[in-house]
Amino acid sequence: MALPKLDWQTVQLDTMPPKIATAYKAYRKTVEATNKERVALEDTIKQHLSAKKLIPAGMEPRFGYRWGKLAIAFAEPGSAKSAEGSEGFSF
């Protein structure tokens, strides 16, 4: 069964009622803080992997966060992300 194609529309922020605008601003603030923490986590992992020589030559670590799980893959710098995954990476 094919899923219907969704027609995404960008919300015009200046049209939000005050209650929704306040909730959206709080959400964006949380997203910004979360992104900073994600970058710090990934930098810490990269430093650990590099110190332990766990990064294959010519590759860089990539991170995924699906369903609350941390996933790691190694790819050539600049290559696109893949949606495939497998279990089993350990530090």
Residue 55 domain-assigned (yes or no): yes
Q: How confident is the model at residue 1 (pLDDT cuts 50, 70, 90)?
A: confident
Residue 51 domain-assigned (yes or no): yes
d(CA 74, CA 14): 42
The boundaries of the domain holding residue 57 are: 15-75
> What pLDDT does 2 receive?
82
Residue 22 domain-assigned (yes or no): yes
What is the tally of structural domains in the chain? 1
Residue 9 domain-assigned (yes or no): no
Residue 64 domain-assigned (yes or no): yes
Residue with the bigger pLDDT between 89 and 41: it is 41
Residue 85 domain-assigned (yes or no): no
Mean per-residue pLDDT, 10-21: 92
Q: Is the pLDDT of residue 90 over 60?
A: no
For residues 63-88, b (16+ Cβ closer than 10 Å) or e, as one string? Answer: eeeeeeeeebbeeeeeeeeeeeeeee
pLDDT in tens, 21-78: 999 999 999 999 999 999 999 999 999 999 999 999 999 999 999 888 999 999 999 8
Overall pTM > 0.75? no
